[in-house]
Chains A and B, each alone.
Chain A
Amino acid sequence: MKTLKSVALGVCLFLACTVAKANKISDDKSASPYFAINTYVDAVSRGKVADLESVIDKTAKFSMLRGKNLISFDKTEMVNFANENANTEQACTVTSSIVSTNTDVTVARVDMQYDGFVRSNYVTLTNTGSGWKITNVYSVFK
């Protein structure tokens, strides 16, 4: 009986470990907002679009201040734009910093310093049930 018990326990443990391991990669990536931020930076500055789609929520909104108007785009438009510019290196220096972070929402600031102007992107990520995803990006040029 004792053997059966420990065998059962062993099997359970093994199963638990295997199941946990099966999900490991995606959990690790979206368990913190950093993977999504890095993916976004790689996409906008170096045209690396590989994981971009998976880190953007389907309801995400991308907006830009033009004069007194905000122009806004949805996920499809953003992904198409990134794909069109795949592998294009932007002539800018990128600086990113976390503006604020808590269990629900993280705001990161990604500055792209070009020759003569700066594009500041405020990237909002939310801790959705399926990990951290980009839900909003607001860009200002100065």
Chain B
Amino acid sequence: MLKSVTIAACLLMTVAFAKANNKLNDDNAASPNNAVNTYVDAISHGKAEGLSQVIDKSAKFSILQGKNILSFSKADMMAYVKENKNIDQACTISTSVVESNNDMTVVKVDMQYTDFVRSNYVTLTNTGNGWEITSVYSVVR
């Protein structure tokens, strides 16, 4: 009797743990869409919540300026987003998937301002922890 109660208790705990542990995370990271949406919210509306989780620690952010590429780390990007928290950008956003396969996804996020367009090519990779942003390359025209 005691044995089956213990087993039942163990089972229940395992199930509860499994549920508590990963459900939200797994759902969010199971497709690249959540990471892309979080990125778009951060750069266009200054919503920084959840941004850190969807960016890999080795991620690189780069911008083409003239003939040079300037590049920034995850820490630089997070600091920039925090400084611009809750600021709405005066632009229209359009998003399209450039490429998507099992290992990596490239999404183009266009920010159309009055006189110019900033195109961000966001690369996401299917790491062991789900889909994370590993590279963003921006061109301003």
A18 interface contact, C-beta 8 A: no
Q: Are B135 and A129 in contact (CB under 8 A)?
A: no
A-chain residues with CB within 8 Å of residue B70 when the two chains form the complex: 59
Question: Which of A59, A70, A126, A140 is the one whose CB lies under 8 Å from B58?
Answer: A70
Residues in chain B near residue A72, CB distance under 8 A: 58
Q: A65-B125, A69-B128 are in contact. Are A105 and B68 (CB under 8 A)?
A: no
- Pick the interface stretch among A32-40, A43-51, A83-91, A130-138: A130-138
How many A-B contacts at CB < 8 Å in the complex? Answer: 81
Consensus secondary structure, chain B interface: strand
Whether the Cβ atoms of B127 and A128 lie closer than 8 Å is no
Shortest C-beta distance, B63 to chain A (Å), equals 10
- Within the complex, what minimum Cβ distance (angstroms) separates B28 from chain A? 16
Establish whether residues B139 and A124, one from each chain, have CB atoms under 8 Å apart when the complex forms.
no
B68 contacts which chain A residues (CB < 8 A)? 128-129
User: Whole-angstrom distance from the CB of B135 to the nearest CB of chain A?
Assistant: 5
**Total contacting residues, chain B, CB less than 8 A:** 29
- Establish whether residues A129 and B60, one from each chain, have CB atoms under 8 Å apart when the complex forms: no
Question: Is B64 a contact partner of A126 (Cβ separation < 8 A)?
Answer: yes
Task: Kindly list the 4 A-B residue pairs having the minimum CB-CB distance in the complex, ordered from nearest.
Answer: A68-B128, A129-B67, A59-B71, A72-B58
| CB<8 Å pairs between A and B, sample of 26 | A59-B62, A59-B71, A61-B58, A61-B60, A61-B135, A68-B128, A100-B98, A100-B106, A102-B98, A104-B119, A105-B137, A122-B103, A124-B123, A124-B135, A124-B137, A126-B137, A128-B67, A128-B69, A129-B64, A129-B66, A129-B68, A135-B62, A135-B137, A136-B134, A138-B104, A140-B103
Q: Which residues of B contact A (CB under 8 A)?
A: 56-58, 60, 62, 64, 66-71, 98-99, 101, 103-104, 106, 119, 121, 123, 125, 127-129, 134-135, 137, 139
Known A59-B70, A71-B58, A135-B69; 13 more pairs at CB < 8 Å: A59-B69, A68-B128, A99-B99, A100-B98, A104-B121, A124-B106, A126-B64, A129-B67, A130-B67, A136-B134, A136-B135, A138-B134, A140-B103
